[in-house]
Amino acid sequence: MLLSLLAFGGLAAVIGIALGVAAVRFRVEGNPLVDQIDAILPQTQCGQCSYPGCRPYAEAIASGDADINQCPPGGEDGVIALAELLGRDAKPINPENGVAQEKPVVAFIDESWCIGCTLCIQACPVDAIVGANKLMHTVIAAECTGCKLCLPPCPVDCIELHEIPQTTKTWTWPEPTVTPVKAA
């Protein structure tokens, strides 16, 4: 009796210490779920989800404050991926957050109208606009996420969104028309 008490007591102590050490030693910084959610989000940083960027929205989803259907740029595919990750049901994008953009777009500054006010530079979440005070600004097309945040601050409305034209490099094979599968 005493032996078994000692044996199990000792075992419990050893395992307890091991778990305690592991908890300190292999402590995970931050919430890995937030990273997983953030990896699915399109990183447009547009704020349409009502959070100031993709990461804050990911944090809100992880903590249960936000629903998974608030990201229009992510589209239906994004919602499905989030639903799979979180074990929830997919649902259509919440229209209050906006509608998904059909084709990828890029901001374009009409340089003949630009007055060099730097307001769009301050609004750009990914630093994709270059320029200086009273000097013409321009968009680095490769870095632009098409978030539209530069449109409202422009005092002369010289920024428009252009669809990214398709080239032979970006062209994709269309999906073949699905073969008719007859019921067995």
Partner 1 sequence: MFGRKKAGFPGGVVLEGHKLYGQAGRTRAAPIPKELVYPLEQHIGQAARPVVAVGDLVQRGDVLARADGFVSAPIHASTSGTITAIEARPVPHTSHLAATCIVLTADGKDTTRGEPLWPIPSHPEKLTHEQLIGIVREAGIVGLGGAAFPSAVKLNPKDTARVDTLILNGAECEPYISCDGAAMIEDAEAIVRGAGLLKTLIKARQVLIGIEDQNTQALAQMQAACKAVGDRCVFVKTVATRYPQGGEKQLIQTLTGLEVPSEGLPIDIGIVVHNVGTAAAIWNAVTEGQPLTERIVTVTGSGVQHPANLRVRIGTPIRALIDACGGYRTQDGLRLLMGGPMMGVDLADDNLPVVKATNCILAGTRDDLAPPPDPMPCIRCGDCVEVCPASLLPQQLYWHARAHEFDKAQTLNLSDCIECGCCAEVCPSNIPLVQFYRFAKTEIRVADQERRKADQARARHEFRAERLEREKQAKEEARRRKREELAARQAAQKAADAAAPDAPADSADKAPSPAVQAALEKARQRLQAETAQNAPSGEGDDA
* Residues in touch with partner 1 (CB under 8 A): 38, 41-45, 53-55, 125-128, 143, 145, 166-169, 171-176, 178-182
Residue 29 CA from chain centroid, whole number: 21
Side-chain-facing half-sphere of 21: CA atoms under 13 Å: 6
C-beta of 84 vs 110, nearer to partner 1 = 84
Query: How far apart are CB 41 and partner 1 at their closest, in Å?
Result: 8
Residue 120 CB partners (closer than 8 Å, separation 6+): 109, 129, 137, 150, 153, 154, 159
C-beta of 26 vs 173, nearer to partner 1 = 173
Query: How far apart are CB 20 and partner 1 at their closest, in Å?
Result: 34
Query: How far apart are CB 56 and partner 1 at their closest, in Å?
Result: 10
Residue 142 CA from chain centroid, whole number: 18
- The SS3 of residue 159 is strand
C-beta of 95 vs 176, nearer to partner 1 = 176
